[in-house]
Structure 1
Amino acid sequence: MNRTAISDPGSRPWFEGYLNAFNARDYDGFGAFYAQDVAFRGQAASLDGRDAVMNFYRDVHRRLDEHIDLLGYVGSPSLAAAEIRTTLVAREDWPDFPTGPLEKGDRRQSINFAFYDIGNGLFTRIRSARFARL
Structure 2
Amino acid sequence: MNRTDYERYLTAFNAKDYDTVCDFYMQPMAMDFFGVSLRSREDMKRFYSFLHGYVRESVRILNFASSDTLTAVDGLVRIEGLRDLDRETLEANGCGGLFPVKAGEVQEMRQFIFYTLKDGKIVNVECALMAPPGG
When normalised by structure 1's length, the TM-score is: 0.86
| Deviant stretches of 4+, over 4 Å | none
2:81 equivalent to 1:90: yes
Partner of 2:32: 41
Question: Which residues of structure 1 form unaligned runs of 5+?
Answer: 1-9
SS in 2 for 1:25: coil
SS in 2 for 1:37: coil
Partner of 1:112: 111
2:10 to 15, 19, 34: 19
Paired letter, 2:17: D
Deviation string 1:86-125 (CA, Å, 9 cap, x unpaired) is 0001111111243222111111000000100111221110
Aligned-residue identity in percent: 28
Deviation string 1:2-55 (CA, Å, 9 cap, x unpaired) is xxxxxxxx1111111100111111122212111221111112512222321221
Q: Tell me the matched-pair count.
A: 125
Contact 1:38–1:123 at 8 Å: present in 2 too?
Answer: yes
1:51 to 29, 36, 42: 42
Partner of 2:69: 78
Q: Which deviates more, 94-103 or 18-27?
A: 94-103
Deviation at 1:133, TM superposition (A): 4.2
2:52 equivalent to 1:61: yes
Paired letter, 1:114: I
Question: Which residues of structure 2 form unaligned runs of 5+?
Answer: 91-95
Assess, with a 3 A threshold, how the Cα gap between structure 1 residues 103 and 86 changes in structure 2: closer, same or farther.
Answer: same
When normalised by structure 2's length, the TM-score is: 0.85
SS in 2 for 1:21: helix
Assess, with a 3 A threshold, how the Cα gap between structure 1 residues 44 and 22 changes in structure 2: closer, same or farther.
Answer: farther
Paired letter, 2:84: D
